[in-house]
Amino acid sequence: MSSASPNSPPQHSFSVARVLLLAIPLGILCGWLMKSYWPQRIEAQTRSDSENIVLKQMLNTESGPMSKLDDRFTDADGDLIADPPKDAAQQISPDTLIFSYIANPNADSERGRWQSFADYLSKKTGKKVEIVSFKTIPDQLAALKNGKLHVTGFNTGAVEAAVNTCGFVPVCVPGREDGTFGYQMKMIVPAKSEIKTLSDLKTHTIAFTDRSSNSGYKAAVFILKEEGLLPERDYSWRFSTDHLESIKKIGIGEYEAAPVASDLLQGAITRKEVSDADFRVIKESERFPPAALGYVYNLSPALAAEIRAAFLNFQITDAELKKQFTDSTHFVPVSFKNDFDLIRRIDDAVKSAPDASTINEPDSSPDDASSAPAAG
């Protein structure tokens, strides 16, 4: 007689076959997940993390206050520019005024263009004027901040940083005979390119000029964002170092697209360095103020007034200086508070040069990584 209770559940013996029937499909499923799904998932997450990093580096993704004057400056009249020191002992009137124009890779060779202005400035102030040059905007900013530069010019995209961190006082911009001034950002592509609109830039590479440039970088990134195009997610990028380099390489079809300053583009056409038949414009921005010239805030008020008058009375007639300003005849007064309002809003949306200095540039060679600024 069996000892098992008649109500006991039936006993099942261990079956290797049953285990294999379950294990094999599960193994196949796990293998498929490991081979197909998880790598794609990891790749997608890595790509998403990379895109977020790039966005934080190139765009201000978190709202915050607009850049403002350094705390060491005062602004009693609300013009957003540093006031001269109240203490006369802190005001300077050097025997030799140090002058430079915008830092760029070719600044040494372009220095002679400014001799006519240096001579005029010397005559009007009674001071010796020494022309110097800088290859990078950070070097130019440092010289202004450290008292080694007194009168200078900055490209549009660097003006706010110069004002807020170094006490730069913008006085004027190059203007036309009728007093008008300004330029546009133009997104250009090779003439034979299939790219017709900004939306067509998806999956393509854009050649920005330099992180300090308004038209060559900041305004372009801002406008692309407004069009729904984000770096890394929608387009790749590189840096060309300056506008002329971008223009030339678009002309020969080496670059797919590039944002450049309209006045520099026209200058290249006038000098026959490129033909307008070599490229097409697929986007134009509204008009921006051009490069601004001015002086450091702590000059004595009397000397500052003489420099201001020299700028505004000088006529751009010298042939060498005409190479710098092809359609300008003189310098016209500019308001940092009013004329640079759009530039400040762009700066507020797009990371400025110091914040973007660690951007990992895809598909770029050491030459592309230069921090030399563009003119716009």
Predicted structure pTM score: 0.69
Q: Are residues 299 and 201 in the same domain?
A: no
Which range of residues forms the domain containing residue 256? Answer: 182-288
User: How far apart are alpha carbons 19 and 28 in whole angstroms?
Assistant: 14
- On the CB side of 184, CA atoms within 13 Å amount to 11
Q: Are residues 280 and 309 in the same domain?
A: no
DSSP state of 169: E
pLDDT in the model for residue 374: 37
Q: Which amino acid is at 342?
A: L
pLDDT in the model for residue 358: 37
User: How far apart are alpha carbons 101 and 89 in whole angstroms?
Assistant: 28
Q: Last residue of a domain, which of 253, 288, 323?
A: 288
Q: Are residues 223 and 302 in the same domain?
A: no
Examine residue 279 and state whether it is found in any structural domain, yes or no: yes
Examine residue 52 and state whether it is found in any structural domain, yes or no: no
Average pLDDT over residues 215-231: 93
Q: Which of 47-51, 301-305, 359-363 has the highest mean pLDDT?
A: 301-305
Q: Are residues 277 and 308 in the same domain?
A: no
Examine residue 155 and state whether it is found in any structural domain, yes or no: yes
Examine residue 215 and state whether it is found in any structural domain, yes or no: yes
Q: Are residues 276 and 140 in the same domain?
A: no
Examine residue 332 and state whether it is found in any structural domain, yes or no: yes
Percent of the chain with pLDDT over 90: 63
Q: Could you tell me the pLDDT band of residue 211, with boundaries at 50, 70 and 90?
A: confident
DSSP state of 231: B
pLDDT tens digits, 82-91: 999 999 999 9
Report which of residues 338 and 54 the model is more confident about: 338
Q: Are residues 204 and 264 in the same domain?
A: yes
Average pLDDT over residues 210-218: 89
Q: Are residues 167 and 231 in the same domain?
A: no
Examine residue 80 and state whether it is found in any structural domain, yes or no: no
User: How far apart are alpha carbons 209 and 158 in whole angstroms?
Assistant: 13
Examine residue 17 and state whether it is found in any structural domain, yes or no: no
Q: Are residues 156 and 95 in the same domain?
A: yes
Hunting for tokens 């678009």 — which residue is that?
250
Q: Last residue of a domain, which of 258, 288, 318?
A: 288
Hunting for tokens 């098992």 — which residue is that?
4
pLDDT tens digits, 273-329: 999 999 999 999 999 999 999 999 999 999 999 999 999 999 999 999 988 888 899
For residues 216 and 208, is the Cβ–Cβ distance under 8 A? yes
pLDDT in the model for residue 85: 97
Q: Are residues 118 and 108 in the same domain?
A: yes
Q: Are residues 169 and 301 in the same domain?
A: yes
pLDDT greater than 70 at residue 197 = yes
Q: Last residue of a domain, which of 288, 316, 341?
A: 288
Q: Are residues 280 and 303 in the same domain?
A: no
Q: Are residues 337 and 305 in the same domain?
A: yes
CATH number at residue 319: 3.40.190.10
pLDDT tens digits, 246-266: 999 999 999 999 999 998 999
Q: How many domains does the chain have?
A: 2
Residues 318, 125, 177, 323: is their CA dihedral positive or negative?
positive
Q: Which residues pair with 153 in a beta bridge?
A: 293
pLDDT tens digits, 107-140: 998 899 999 999 999 999 999 999 999 999 999 9
Q: Give all strands (DSSP E) within the chain, no chain letters.
A: 96-100, 128-131, 151-154, 168-175, 185-190, 205-208, 236-239, 258-261, 279-284, 292-296, 330-333
Examine residue 81 and state whether it is found in any structural domain, yes or no: no
